[in-house]
């Protein structure tokens, strides 16, 4: 993924240990002597628990731009992919960055997780061959694609799931006789405080025109031969029914 990703740390849930309940002594095990009369103990009334007030997460605002809807504040929201802002990426297909298209949007509204929809025509790479400091996961929603991972080629079809641990070198290329739709997700844990990863050179990726001329961390160099991406409205027929 391109700016894909700055990530999400795990949240540890603290658990309070419950005290053990001790069994009452059995009088049969006590010494042979008379037992004192039982004493009536007064039990304190249990304190009433205060009412539970969950934190209310506000609904985020959505702004209509010339290319479609984008988030305008933090919070939960519902947005249909047909109404959202897409990007036309000449030579690299169409992309819907669901969780921010630049550093400001990602860090302000989506600091924990990166997610996008990518639509590739046959022969189009979704990026340049690269690795990231984050875990990345992908699901093929429709069509066919070719995965180039660690120098190997793996054909993909609908509902194939791809898991890439941190530093896994990979790229996807559209295949088959029609568009391929891929859902991509990435953690955003480490990129905010260090290098995101690197674009690398690989023979298998080069055969599919899906790697840079030289290793680099500079996206401008890696994607120098591609025209700039342009925001646009959803194009009819881009996603399957």
Neighbours of 231 (CB within 10 A): 14
8 Å CB contact between 113 and 134:
no
Q: Which residue has the higher pLDDT, 161 or 9?
A: 161
| Residue-level pLDDT at 39 | 42
Q: What's the mean pLDDT when you consider all of the chain?
A: 83
Is the whole-model pTM more than 0.75?
yes
Check if CATH label 2.60.120.10 holds for domain 67-228.
Answer: yes
Model pLDDT, residue 60: 96
Select the more confidently predicted residue: 84 or 56. 84
What values do phi and psi take at 17, rounded to 5? -70, 140
| CB-based burial, 33-72: b 16+ in 10 Å, e otherwise | eeeeeeeeeeeeeeeeeeeeeeeeeeeeebeeeebbbbbe
pLDDT at 48: 56
Measure the CA–CA gap between 77 and 96, rounded to whole angstroms.
Answer: 16
Cβ-contact 201, 211 below 8 angstroms: yes
Q: In 3D, which of 123, 128, 231 has the Cα closest to residue 179? A: 123
DSSP label of 241: -
Percent of the chain surpassing pLDDT 70: 76
């Amino acid at each position: 993924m391109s700016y894909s990703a700055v990530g999400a740390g795990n949240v540890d849930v603290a658990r309070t240990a419950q005290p053990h309940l001790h069994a009452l002594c059995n009088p049969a095990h006590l010494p042979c002597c008379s037992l004192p009369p039982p004493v009536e103990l007064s039990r304190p009334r249990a304190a009433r628990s205060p009412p539970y007030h969950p934190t209310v997460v506000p609904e985020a605002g959505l702004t209509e731009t010339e290319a479609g809807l984008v988030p305008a504040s933090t919070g939960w929201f519902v947005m249909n992919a047909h109404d959202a802002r897409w990007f036309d990426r000449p030579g690299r297909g169409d992309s819907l960055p669901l969780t921010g298209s630049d550093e400001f949007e990602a860090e302000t509204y989506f600091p924990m997780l990166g997610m996008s929809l990518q639509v590739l025509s046959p022969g189009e790479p979704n990026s340049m061959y690269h690795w990231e400091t984050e875990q990345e996961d992908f699901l093929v929603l429709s069509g066919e694609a070719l995965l180039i991972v660690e120098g190997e080629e793996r054909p993909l079809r609908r509902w194939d799931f791809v898991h890439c641990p941190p530093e896994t070198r990979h790229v996807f290329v559209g295949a088959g006789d029609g568009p391929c739709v891929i859902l991509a997700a990435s953690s955003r844990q480490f990129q905010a405080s260090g290098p995101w990863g690197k674009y690398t050179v690989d023979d298998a990726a080069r055969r599919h025109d899906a790697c840079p001329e030289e290793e680099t961390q500079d996206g401008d160099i890696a994607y120098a031969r591609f025209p700039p991406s342009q925001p646009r409205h959803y194009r009819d027929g881009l996603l399957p029914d």
